[in-house]
Chain A
Amino acid sequence: MTSMASPYLSPSSTSPHIHFTTTMSTLRFHLLPSFHALRAVFLVAMLSQLLFSSCTTDVPSTYVEVKDLPSVYPDYIGVTVPVNIAPLHFHIDHDSTATDFVTRLSAGNEAYAIAGDNVRPGLKKWRKLLTAALAAEGKISAEVFIKKNDKWQRHQPFTITVSKDSIDPYISYRLISPSYVTYEDLTLNQRCLENFDESLIYGNMINSDEANGQCINCHHAQWYNPNRIQFHVRQYLGGTVIAYDGKVQKVDLKTDSTISAGVYPTWHPRKPWIVYSTNNTGQSFHTRDVQKIEVQDTKSNLIFYDLEHNTVTPITRDTTDFDCFPFWSPDGKYVYYVSAHWERRDSVQMDFELIKNYKQVQYNLYRIPFNEQTLSFGPRELIYDAVARNRSVTLPRVSPDGRWLMFTEGKFGVFHIWHNDADLFLLDLAQAEPVEPTPVVFYSSHNLPASVHPENANNVRREELADSLLEAQGLRTPLPAHIRNITELNSHDVESYHSWSSNGCWVIFSSRRDDGNFTRPFIAHHDGNGHFSRPFELPQDNPLYHRQFMRSYNIPEFLSGPVTIRPQEFAAVIKKDANKAQLKIK
């Protein structure tokens, strides 16, 4: 729907123009045989470039008003950004009839017009816009004009809210193709959120060759500190790399009494202690489902690692409980984690049994108290009985103020990045009390009564039927009042790994909402009361970058600054033998 607008006074009369760079279509010169000549040509070229580029772009004064918002990628419409964020570059999606584009970004007294379908305000101008927005009503307005059939159209403007709450300047993440078994070229990266600088923390190819592949994973910093980080190297030259205040070492956390070396880590907020899960993990492949992979543990427990003494102490050892994804509370008093209970049913191998029954493996949220004096853990407490709701939780993460616990919930399993029903939930720890597990007999797509089992229903439909049947029979407990689905963050697709900023004002999480396959980091503002703003995708210099990029972002976590140890230094340490951790049984 369009409507004619009255002649419009150019905003240039009230706002300054932005100068924009145009690429010269042609620049002809003869290759001259002397350096002087070459220099002359270069100078002429530069001058010409300056001449050409000094033309300005005007916001169209006559246009047709369009009632729709523009279609922009990434979708930054109505998002809230921190005051120190990098420019939000975006692309205007359009059809082939669109021939020209102008976008006017304004805040307070600052306004810039940008030509082209890639809207890329420069860093300085963006900073001015952010400052101006904070000084005014806290909004940056974006008006998009698109020229079609020689007539300009103006879409409804949208706003970007600027929050005075700053965000940690860096994030770290692993870049990995959403692959299945193979890996090549894996990198742990860090990115400055205040600009577009991205650098490598460590890349596996520096220590890999055809015969000796290396996987790297599970990077984690102690309380946002880039000088205290750890990550794992698997297979060739394997071990856990720990950098602690300038000292880098590789340790071997596997002991005879533990399932594996350390896997999913959580640092104590202050002390040189790390709790890990130890896991036996396998994966199998969906033949039809677009979720494609199911990653399952056949065993998992928790261990405590004392970095100072290089000792490993098992925390949980029950083979019928799969304990995973520990997270230390900011006060250091509890370790939150998820656990599924599974007792052998068949005589077949455990992994085959679990593959067969993969939808019945569901995880609850637990915590165990920790005594800093004795370095001992107390009995576990059930915090959220997700299984009673025919659900499975993973990745508990507590906010820095200790009030909120965010987790991911899906129907089954623990590796929710491959579950497109996975959503983020928030639990108010101020109201949380340990609960008793509810014995449940629930239906799934496998055991639905024949009367309600429509033959042709697909998997999703059968799951829905199971849920509604449970609800109808009162067998599925409602969501507790202190837990809520963070609908403002969730999408139709996967939301998974998440972490809080150090001031608790921001969360970053993984989502596959863009295309269902490639994970992208999204950031959202937290108001301190358990509510979030509309999330925005990690800004990139080239707004179409994520549409072209063939890798996923894994485990995005905030850092208070950059990791300064160079990849080559990590590589040198990794080449050395690992320090074998000693088992310490209490």
Chain B
Amino acid sequence: MKGKENKKAPQSSTPSSSSVGKWLNNSALYALIVLGLLVFAGFKLVQEESEMLLRAQELNLWLPTTLYWKTLMQYPGGAASWLATYLTQYFYYPGLGVSILCGLWLIICLLLAWTYRLRGPWLLLTALLPLALLACITQTGYWLFYQKLQGHLFVPTVGVLFATLCLVLQRLFDKSLPPKVARWMRLLWITLVCILGYPFFGAWALGATGLLAILPSVQASEANAHDESDKSIRSRFYFLGDGLGVRLLLAILLIAVVPQIYYQWCFEMTERTFVYVAALPSMRYSKESFEIYRIPYYAIILSFAILTLFSAGEGSAFAKKLKPSLKVLITLTLLVLAIFGVRAVWYHDINFQKELAMNRAIEELDWERVLTIARDGSSDIKPTRQIVMYKNLALFRLGRAGNEMFFYPEGAVQQNAPWKVRMTQIGGKLIYYHYGKENFCYRWCMEDGVEFGWKAETLKFMARTSILNREWTVARKYLDLLKKTTFHRAWAERYEKYLATPDAFDLEKLEASAKAGHPLLDEQGMKEFAPILHMMTYPDRLDGDNTLVEMYLLQTFAKGNGDDPLFQEMTLICALIMKDIDLFWPRFMRYATLNPDVHMPLHYQEAAYLYGHLENKVDISHMPFDQNVRDTYERFMKFNQQCGPMSEEQKAVAFYPQFGNTFYYFYFLVRNQKTN
């Protein structure tokens, strides 16, 4: 039989006269569906994951330097990371980054459709790959902070694109070379892809090698010279072409041996067993491995297997025999399953989103927005300590902590991740930075840089803490690195200006200049740095935080002493949160002395009133407490008597509507707030 006739064969089995049949076989329709799906995926990504994508590019660094290239190329698959980190930058504008991502997925779909000769409903199968790639991104969650593979969000797309291009080239060889030459060319190409591709694309090159071995042969499909009555496996998979066994053997051999050869002679920094998974995200943290996060990667393999199996809308005996309606049914089922799969692994966590949004608001010094996010009551889920700390920081910066600190939900919900998330690795650096613990911010940037690789975010902190520590040269080093990036150059140039004004980082000189009406810092600088400089007015000592940011800050501030009004208030706030009566009183008195013209904030009054009644160490009888402070206290105690037999948990619920925003409630009914 001639190939041309064969091409028509599947159509002849359909009711060509039927408009439904035509409609069902309309490739353009399915291409449109795939396109629509990609657009929708992109829209959902921007709509739901903008914060995550924005942070992802902050936790990414691409530098146009040979050093950066060489650093990545120390490991197999370095080029995939290099390309992926380059592309991740574009999430600086989430819409742009997602457009690039979806554009690459579209290219992958088109190339796969061509390579696997997909027509009609089979075209829908090309969307399986983008859906698997989408799942790789949307399942991220707190891996954002813990993934060591540089450019991890884009690496799967880059890897699949590489594999697809390898298949495309093979298809070109198949088309343009005589069959015999093509068969040899395929063996050569498989070998080349594995040997040359591995150092640059790691495991993705190994995957491409495997795919090349089983890529359906054009000649075999077109020749279709199989015996319908022959039920052997060989016959069923005739479309995979002659020499499948040889190809498979070669591929297996290459996949097994090539990484080992590179291990022996080239890559001196990769563990022997890891050479097979180079350029794949590890999904391991500490001693634990989280297999469930590997599912989207298995889905990528499965998608290629499905494409191979159904590739031949016109080649595979199995696929060919199917009626159009059945084809539609199969493809739609697979597609729907894939969509549900993506939906199932999509990481949704309100606290995660809040943490990201608050982090960004703090970076933009938009303290009111931080509070708006903290107030958001769209979910009943209690906040994480990270959220509570962000909220407290915002209130402190706005000078409203004493009045509003307990107006927001308290909570100590653990971050929604199967491992113990440490605050030092997510938002702790930002908190340390704003509370004037510059060395500890710097320290955790350095630790994270060492463990998880250098990021724009860590370099920004290191530059700013170095400026505040008056370490100008090293600050310039970090700024110079940031200036080499595509999107952080403007940021670096803005902060570079401060290197020229060293006096501005001497608090006395800064304050004097501000009083004289010619502040040494611009408005943005005053807003960001001046409060931090106030918080840095404490003497040096040797210390350690044992990775517990909140506990460390509470302990050091509550036990600290200072005459700077801002710093001093922080010592009072921390004494309050720690419910330490002995620490509270001297700081309360000092606050009153340092702020004679300030109306004593509500929560400080509440604490003093309560402590005065609990212990008679301090005479509070002459203190001018607000009437509502006294009244609330009386009501609280009366209500407590009424609720006598209730357990503490029951009381916490019962008291909350009336007293949830008071220090009394916090003191008696908010306990065991485990921090991380």
A448 to chain B, nearest CB (A): 14
Judge if B264 is at the interface, Cβ distance under 8 Å: yes
Taken together as a complex, chains A and B put the C-alpha atoms of A187 and B539 apart, in Å, by 37
Note all chain A residues with C-beta closer than 8 A to B439.
Answer: 285-290, 292
Q: A542 is contacted by which of B66, B471, B474 (Cβ under 8 Å)?
A: B66
Number of interface residues of A (CB under 8 A): 48
Note all chain A residues with C-beta closer than 8 A to B480.
Answer: 547-548
Q: A515 is contacted by which of B176, B446, B473, B538 (Cβ under 8 Å)?
A: B473
A408 to chain B, nearest CB (A): 21
Whether A517 touches B471, Cβ cut-off 8 Å, given contacts A179-B450, A185-B269, A567-B268, is yes
Judge if A143 is at the interface, Cβ distance under 8 Å: no
Note all chain B residues with C-beta closer than 8 A to A578.
Answer: none
A176 to chain B, nearest CB (A): 9
- Per-residue 0/1 for A505-521: is the Cβ within 8 Å of any B Cβ (1 yes, 0 no)? 00000000011111000
Whether A459 touches B449, Cβ cut-off 8 Å, given contacts A211-B284, A290-B469, A515-B473, is no
Note all chain B residues with C-beta closer than 8 A to A178.
Answer: 446
B611 to chain A, nearest CB (A): 29
Judge if B530 is at the interface, Cβ distance under 8 Å: no
Flag if A549 contacts B270 (CB, 8 Å).
no
Taken together as a complex, chains A and B put the C-alpha atoms of A345 and B287 apart, in Å, by 41
Taken together as a complex, chains A and B put the C-alpha atoms of A288 and B536 apart, in Å, by 8
B82-90, B104-112, B132-140, B541-549: which lies at the interface: B541-549
Q: B285 is contacted by which of A181, A182, A185, A210 (Cβ under 8 Å)?
A: A210
Note all chain A residues with C-beta closer than 8 A to B474.
Answer: 515-518
Judge if A307 is at the interface, Cβ distance under 8 Å: no
Flag if A516 contacts B471 (CB, 8 Å).
yes
A235 to chain B, nearest CB (A): 13
- Per-residue 0/1 for B5-28: is the Cβ within 8 Å of any A Cβ (1 yes, 0 no)? 000000000000000000000000
Flag if B481 contacts A548 (CB, 8 Å).
yes
Whether A180 touches B473, Cβ cut-off 8 Å, given contacts A288-B536, A288-B540, is no
B258 to chain A, nearest CB (A): 16
A128 to chain B, nearest CB (A): 26
Flag if A177 contacts B542 (CB, 8 Å).
no
Q: B268 is contacted by which of A206, A286, A290 (Cβ under 8 Å)?
A: A206
Judge if B353 is at the interface, Cβ distance under 8 Å: no
Whether A180 touches B447, Cβ cut-off 8 Å, given contacts A286-B542, A514-B473, A518-B474, is yes
Judge if A41 is at the interface, Cβ distance under 8 Å: no
Note all chain B residues with C-beta closer than 8 A to A180.
Answer: 443, 446-447
Flag if B543 contacts A284 (CB, 8 Å).
yes
Within 8 A of A (CB), among B409-454: 437-440, 442-443, 446-447, 449-451, 454
- Per-residue 0/1 for B161-176: is the Cβ within 8 Å of any A Cβ (1 yes, 0 no)? 0000000000000001
Q: B542 is contacted by which of A187, A209, A284, A516 (Cβ under 8 Å)?
A: A284
Flag if A177 contacts B269 (CB, 8 Å).
no
Interface SS, A side? loop
Judge if B65 is at the interface, Cβ distance under 8 Å: yes
Flag if A209 contacts B271 (CB, 8 Å).
yes
Note all chain A residues with C-beta closer than 8 A to B540.
Answer: 286-289, 459
A493 nearest CB neighbor, chain B only? B473
Whether A184 touches B284, Cβ cut-off 8 Å, given contacts A284-B542, A288-B539, A568-B264, is no
Taken together as a complex, chains A and B put the C-alpha atoms of A516 and B66 apart, in Å, by 24
- Per-residue 0/1 for B542-575: is the Cβ within 8 Å of any A Cβ (1 yes, 0 no)? 1110000000000010000000000000000000
A38 to chain B, nearest CB (A): 14
- Per-residue 0/1 for A347-359: is the Cβ within 8 Å of any B Cβ (1 yes, 0 no)? 0000000011010
Taken together as a complex, chains A and B put the C-alpha atoms of A257 and B443 apart, in Å, by 36
- Per-residue 0/1 for B87-105: is the Cβ within 8 Å of any A Cβ (1 yes, 0 no)? 0000000000000000000
Note all chain B residues with C-beta closer than 8 A to A211.
Answer: 284, 286-287
B511 to chain A, nearest CB (A): 15
Taken together as a complex, chains A and B put the C-alpha atoms of A203 and B284 apart, in Å, by 21
Flag if A210 contacts B440 (CB, 8 Å).
no
Q: A290 is contacted by which of B282, B287, B471 (Cβ under 8 Å)?
A: B471
B543 to chain A, nearest CB (A): 5
Judge if A200 is at the interface, Cβ distance under 8 Å: yes
Judge if A183 is at the interface, Cβ distance under 8 Å: yes
Taken together as a complex, chains A and B put the C-alpha atoms of A545 and B66 apart, in Å, by 9
B388 to chain A, nearest CB (A): 23
Q: B543 is contacted by which of A187, A285, A518 (Cβ under 8 Å)?
A: A285
Flag if A516 contacts B473 (CB, 8 Å).
yes
A396 to chain B, nearest CB (A): 26
Taken together as a complex, chains A and B put the C-alpha atoms of A305 and B176 apart, in Å, by 70
Within 8 A of B (CB), among A346-392: 355-356, 358
Judge if B67 is at the interface, Cβ distance under 8 Å: yes
A427 to chain B, nearest CB (A): 31
Flag if B541 contacts A287 (CB, 8 Å).
yes
Note all chain A residues with C-beta closer than 8 A to B440.
Answer: 285, 287
Judge if B44 is at the interface, Cβ distance under 8 Å: no
Note all chain B residues with C-beta closer than 8 A to A356.
Answer: 542
Note all chain B residues with C-beta closer than 8 A to A209.
Answer: 271, 274, 284
Flag if B67 contacts A549 (CB, 8 Å).
yes
Judge if B263 is at the interface, Cβ distance under 8 Å: yes
Judge if B477 is at the interface, Cβ distance under 8 Å: yes
Note all chain A residues with C-beta closer than 8 A to B539.
Answer: 288, 459
Taken together as a complex, chains A and B put the C-alpha atoms of A33 and B556 apart, in Å, by 70
Q: List 23 A-B contacts (CB under 8 A).
A: A180-B446, A182-B447, A182-B450, A184-B450, A200-B269, A205-B271, A206-B269, A206-B271, A210-B289, A284-B543, A284-B544, A286-B542, A287-B538, A290-B469, A292-B439, A459-B540, A515-B471, A515-B474, A542-B67, A545-B67, A547-B480, A548-B63, A548-B67
Interface residue ranges, A against B (CB under 8 Å) = 33, 177-185, 187, 200, 203, 205-211, 284-290, 292, 294, 355-356, 358, 459, 514-518, 542, 545, 547-550, 566-568, 571
Extra inter-chain contacts (5) besides given A288-B536, A288-B538, CB under 8 Å: A203-B269, A287-B540, A287-B543, A290-B469, A292-B443
Interface residue ranges, B against A (CB under 8 Å) = 63, 65-67, 176, 263-264, 268-272, 274, 282, 284-287, 289, 437-440, 442-443, 446-447, 449-451, 454, 469-471, 473-474, 476-477, 480-481, 536, 538-544, 556
Closest 3 CB pairs of A and B: A288-B540, A515-B474, A284-B542
